[in-house]
């Protein structure tokens, strides 16, 4: 008996191999989810107890297996995914080694229930098949892994705490779920069900405000003030496989430019589509670091893609300046007004500092910044002037004539009740005077809406909203002054706010860092 060499039994071989393939619950969950994805599942639910050491259960609605395949899948190097080494070139599945189930089942109490139409249940312990029997199950597969490492005490001893294992499992599920919005995942009742990438990213990681969209690179980056002190919130996928890449992390950071402080790591999720021959996708199951053929090129592409995710800052063509008016020349400003303002008493002792007009918004300073929606202000002013007929109608130099349709004559007379001085001559409406804040050029539009709408609050609001124009500073200040005389100065007649106040703290919080 000089021979010392023995051929190891299959079960021992599998247990040794298991050390490489399955390190901990998270790596098991990863293998099992990948199998479910390869099986074409649209729903995958995962449950773990005690961080996975007590139980890992994964259920899918994929293609399932026949009884024969279900038995074979527990054997080492048994796979349906490749037939020859050449198949590796065109591999579209996540697995291909045929090792995971053999390894997992060799270090646990293992149960598989699977159906491809006909259900099979198999129980195995430490890699030994104990029971094979028919069972009832819809198409798909359920795998339960209990008492993990019960027969490998050394490995069991080195397992992390249940909470830390649970955290790792979550990370695995979240990461895979980010890249597969077409599949609904659930983990211990928490479910990821958004079906588009943006929704999926936000449901798992929270808001990521800036979209990255370049050739071969898509994804999202979070606002710079959400950056973290570690790379924990950085997710990179190459052809939908999660990878780790300090190179890409650095490129993204450079893409943030001076928007982020030096020692912080931005949050992002990036998906790269790269032809398999320009990247080593690293087929070793545990190594996730990618190697690129042309690192410089990838670096630049990523950096530029992230740069362009930030909308360019608006450029101001000229410095904004407005000094408080000391006198008004109405002859000059009158022609530009969208309304007649001759009755406006101007009190030029401004207390509010009117700063500028942007489109139809006035910005003014009054214990903070106030944005005034000038169209809403106009609606309020016009509404009150119509309602109270206090418009002290302004005579038109040239009476306005509007053709009436048959039967409109009597109705047209009623315009007088709104302070619009008018007469009907045959089939023509002749307007002699209009209230302030309703000008002759826009009157035909006003008349058109008045014909179909009774309520003056609606007429005034809709009409003022429909007037498309940029306001001048003069128009804005007349409106603002006039608004002060209205019964309500805060809402337009339909209840929309006329102005909003932005407190200094709120402005501050828009810029302030959250870290
Ligand atoms: P690999 O995934 O590398 O092929 P595994 O040991 O993970 O090896 O799985 C072995 C085989 O079992 C797979 O090739 C597949 O045919 C089958 N299988 C595993 N899990 C599932 C599942 N959830 N649904 C259908 N078939 C599965
Ligand atoms: Mg597999």
Nearest CA to ligand 1 atom 2: 95
Per-residue pLDDT of the chain (515 residues; tens, 9 = 90+): 688 888 888 878 877 777 777 889 999 999 999 999 999 999 999 999 999 999 999 999 999 999 999 999 998 877 887 778 777 777 777 877 788 999 999 999 999 999 999 999 999 999 999 999 999 999 999 999 999 999 988 888 888 899 999 999 999 999 999 999 999 999 999 999 999 999 999 999 999 988 999 999 999 999 877 888 899 999 999 999 898 888 999 999 999 876 777 778 999 999 999 887 788 766 555 557 778 888 999 999 999 999 888 755 433 333 333 333 333 333 333 344 455 444 444 444 445 788 899 989 999 887 778 899 999 999 989 988 888 776 556 778 888 888 888 888 888 888 888 888 888 888 889 988 888 788 888 888 889 888 888 788 888 888 898 887 788 888 898 888 888 888 777 778 877 788 888 887 888 888 876 65
β-strand pairing of 43-49 with 184-187: parallel
Q: Please give the distance, rounded to the nearest whole angstrom, from the Cα atom of residue 470 to the centre of ligand 1.
A: 66
Length of the chain: 515
Supply the pLDDT for residue 507. 82
Q: Please give the distance, rounded to the nearest whole angstrom, from the Cα atom of residue 193 to the centre of ligand 1.
A: 24
Residue ranges of E strands in 309-458: 353-358, 361-365, 369-373, 394-403, 421-425, 428-434
Supply the pLDDT for residue 314. 38
Supply the pLDDT for residue 311. 58
Q: Please give the distance, rounded to the nearest whole angstrom, from the Cα atom of residue 72 to the centre of ligand 2.
A: 13
Give the closest residue to 37 by CA, choosing from 169, 142, 183: 183
CB 95 less than 6 A from any atom of ligand 1: yes
Supply the pLDDT for residue 487. 78
Supply the pLDDT for residue 111. 98
In 408-434, which positions are buried (b, 16+ CB within 10 angstroms) versus exposed (e)? Answer: beeebeebeebbbbbebeeeebbbebb
Supply the pLDDT for residue 225. 72
CB 65 less than 6 A from any atom of ligand 1: yes
CB 328 less than 6 A from any atom of ligand 1: no
Supply the pLDDT for residue 333. 38
Q: Which fold, 10-83+92-191?
A: Heat Shock Protein 90 (3.30.565)
Nearest atom (ligand 1) to Cα of 82: 4
The CA distance from 239 to 280, in Å, is: 12
41-52 pLDDT tens trace: 999 999 999 999
Phi, psi of 145 (to 5 degrees): -115, 115
Give the angle subtended at the CA of 68 by the CAs of 63 and 69, to the nearest 5°. Answer: 45
Q: Please give the distance, rounded to the nearest whole angstrom, from the Cα atom of residue 156 to the centre of ligand 2.
A: 23
* Listed residues: CB within 5 A of ion ligand 2: 35, 95, 100
Burial class (CB in 10 A: 0-12, 13-18, 19+), 96: middle
Supply the pLDDT for residue 281. 65
Report the mean per-residue pLDDT for the chain.
84
Kind and range of the H or E element at 92?
none
Q: Please give the distance, rounded to the nearest whole angstrom, from the Cα atom of residue 50 to the centre of ligand 1.
A: 25
The CA distance from 288 to 171, in Å, is: 15
CB 285 less than 6 A from any atom of ligand 1: no
* Beta-bridge mates of residue 438: none
- Tell me which DSSP letter residue 118 carries: S
Nearest CA to ligand 1 atom 7: 100
CB 80 less than 6 A from any atom of ligand 1: yes
Nearest atom (ligand 1) to Cα of 63: 25
CA of 142, nearest ligand number: 1
Question: What is the residue extent of each domain of the chain?
Answer: 10-83+92-191, 207-309, 330-391+435-503
Nearest CA to ligand 1 atom 1: 98
179-227 pLDDT tens trace: 999 999 999 999 999 999 999 999 999 999 889 999 999 999 998 778 8
Q: Please give the distance, rounded to the nearest whole angstrom, from the Cα atom of residue 6 to the centre of ligand 2.
A: 30
What's the whole-model pTM score?
0.64
User: What secondary structure, in 3-state letters, does 200-241 show?
Assistant: HHHHHHCCCCEEEEECCEEEEECCHHHCECCHHHEEEEECCE
Supply the pLDDT for residue 77. 79
The CA distance from 409 to 426, in Å, is: 8
Q: Which fold, 330-391+435-503?
A: formyl-coa transferase, domain 3 (3.30.1540)
CB 106 less than 6 A from any atom of ligand 1: no
Estimate to the nearest angstrom the gap between the alpha carbon of 108 and the chain centroid: 41
Q: Measuring CA to CA, how many Å separate 330 from each of 246, 475, 507?
A: 66, 11, 36
CATH number of 207-309: 3.30.230.10
The CA distance from 139 to 119, in Å, is: 8
Nearest CA to ligand 1 atom 27: 35
CB 17 less than 6 A from any atom of ligand 1: no
304-324 pLDDT tens trace: 999 888 755 433 333 333 333
């Amino acid at each position: 008996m000089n021979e010392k060499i023995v051929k190891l039994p299959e079960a021992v071989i599998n247990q040794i191999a298991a050390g490489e393939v399955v390190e901990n619950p998270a790596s098991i969950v990863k293998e099992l989810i990948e199998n479910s994805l390869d099986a074409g599942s649209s729903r995958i639910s995962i449950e773990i107890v005690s961080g996975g050491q007590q139980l890992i259960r994964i259920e899918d609605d994929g293609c399932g297996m026949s009884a024969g395949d279900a038995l074979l899948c527990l054997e080492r190097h048994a796979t349906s995914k490749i037939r020859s080494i050449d198949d590796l070139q065109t591999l579209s599945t996540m697995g291909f080694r045929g090792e995971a189930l053999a390894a997992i089942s060799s270090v646990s109490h293992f149960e598989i229930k699977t159906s491809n139409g006909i259900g099979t249940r198999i129980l195995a312990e430490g890699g030994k098949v104990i029971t094979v029997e028919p069972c009832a199950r819809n198409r798909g597969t359920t795998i339960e892994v209990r008492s993990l490492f019960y027969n490998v005490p050394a490995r069991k001893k080195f397992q992390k705490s249940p909470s830390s294992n649970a955290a790792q499992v979550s990370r695995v599920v979240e990461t895979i779920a980010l890249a597969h919005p077409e599949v609904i995942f659930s983990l211990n009742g928490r479910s990821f069900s958004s079906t588009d990438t943006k929704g999926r990213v936000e449901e798992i990681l929270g808001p990521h405000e800036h979209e990255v969209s370049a050739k071969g690179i898509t994804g999202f980056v979070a606002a710079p003030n959400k950056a973290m002190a570690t790379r924990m919130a950085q997710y990179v996928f190459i052809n939908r496989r999660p990878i780790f890449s300090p190179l890409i992390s650095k490129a993204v950071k450079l893409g943030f430019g001076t928007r982020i402080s030096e020692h912080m790591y931005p949050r992002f999720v990036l998906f790269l589509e790269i032809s398999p021959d320009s990247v080593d996708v690293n087929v070793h199951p545990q190594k996730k670091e990618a190697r690129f053929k042309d690192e410089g090129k990838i670096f630049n592409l990523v950096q530029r893609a992230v740069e362009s995710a930030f909308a360019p800052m608006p450029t101001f063509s000229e410095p904004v300046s407005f000094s408080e008016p000391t006198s008004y020349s109405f002859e000059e400003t009158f022609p530009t007004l969208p309304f007649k303002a001759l009755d406006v008493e101007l009190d030029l002792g401004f207390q509010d500092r009117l700063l500028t007009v942007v489109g139809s918004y006035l910005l003014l300073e009054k214990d903070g910044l106030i944005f005034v929606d000038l169209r809403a202000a106009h609606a309020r002013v016009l509404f009150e002037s119509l309602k109270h007929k206090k418009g002290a109608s302004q005579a038109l130099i040239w009476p306005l004539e509007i053709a009436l349709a048959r039967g409109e004559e009597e109705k047209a007379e009623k315009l007088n009740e709104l302070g619009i001085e008018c007469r009907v001559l045959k089939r023509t409406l002749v307007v002699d005077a209009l209230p302030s804040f309703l000008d002759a050029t826009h009157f035909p539009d006003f008349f058109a809406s008045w014909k179909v709408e009774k309520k003056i609050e609606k007429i005034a609001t809709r009409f003022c909203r429909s007037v498309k124009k940029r306001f001048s500073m003069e128009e804005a200040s007349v409106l603002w002054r006039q608004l002060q005389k209205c019964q309500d100065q805060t809402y337009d007649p339909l209840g929309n706010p006329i102005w909003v106040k932005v407190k200094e703290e709120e402005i501050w919080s828009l810029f302030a860092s959250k870290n």
